[in-house]
């Protein structure tokens, strides 16, 4: 019986945290609903960017070259989170953690060099590459 009481008492901080999160989320959803003005002006449904009305079509097609760069950014950004977590636990990880992080950073560096060598980070168009080649010749 006493062990069950200890387990329940260990859950109170977690239960309080979940309750606080629910209260904050409910407040974030309810306050704007209550305070917002409900009006329908003629420009209410129009799109704008930073207060400026857009000119032309808002559906712009981006070149496929931008997507790999965005994916590489997300991947390397996520890996920086792992490095930060390792830095926080540096003393507990010891030399084994240091060697593991050195291998991890080495693999990241090898991947970055590979991407650079194959031209995956090159944003230039084919015409710009041709012009650069002509200038070098």
Per-residue HEC secondary structure of the chain comes to: CHHHHHHHHHHHHHHHHHHHHHHHHHHHHHHHHHHCCCCCCCCCCCCCECCECCCCCCCCCCCCCHHHHHHHHHHHHHHHHHHHHHHHCHHHHHHHHHHHHHHHHHHHHHHHHHHHHHCCCCCCCHHHHHHHHHHHC
CA distance 79 to 63: 26
The tally of domains found in the chain comes to 2
Residues 137 and 71 in one domain: yes
pLDDT at position 1? 54
Residues 19 and 78 in one domain: no
Residues 10 and 71 in one domain: no
* 56, part of any domain: no
Range of the domain at 135: 63-137
CATH number of the domain where residue 125 is located: 1.20.58.1610
* 41, part of any domain: no
pLDDT at position 129? 82
Residues 24 and 83 in one domain: no
Residues 75 and 116 in one domain: yes
Residues 23 and 79 in one domain: no
* 48, part of any domain: no
Local confidence pLDDT in tens for the 137 residues of the chain: 565 656 667 888 889 999 999 999 999 999 988 888 776 777 666 666 666 666 777 677 777 777 777 888 888 888 888 889 889 998 898 999 999 999 999 998 898 899 888 877 777 777 888 888 888 87
* 21, part of any domain: yes
pLDDT at position 137? 74
pLDDT at position 16? 92
């Amino acid at each position: 019986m006493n062990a069950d009481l200890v387990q329940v008492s260990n859950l109170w901080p977690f239960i309080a945290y979940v309750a606080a999160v629910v209260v904050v989320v409910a407040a974030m959803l309810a306050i704007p609903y209550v305070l917002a003005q409900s009006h329908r002006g003629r420009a209410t449904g129009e799109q704008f960017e930073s207060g400026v009305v857009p000119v032309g079509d808002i559906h712009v097609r981006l070149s496929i070259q931008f997507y790999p760069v965005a994916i590489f950014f997300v991947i390397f950004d996520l890996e920086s989170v792992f490095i930060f977590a390792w830095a926080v636990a540096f003393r507990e990880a010891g030399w084994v953690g240091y060697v593991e992080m050195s291998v991890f950073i080495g693999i990241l560096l090898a991947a970055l060099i590979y991407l650079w060598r194959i031209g995956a980070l090159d944003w230039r168009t084919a015409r710009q590459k041709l012009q650069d080649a002509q200038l070098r010749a």
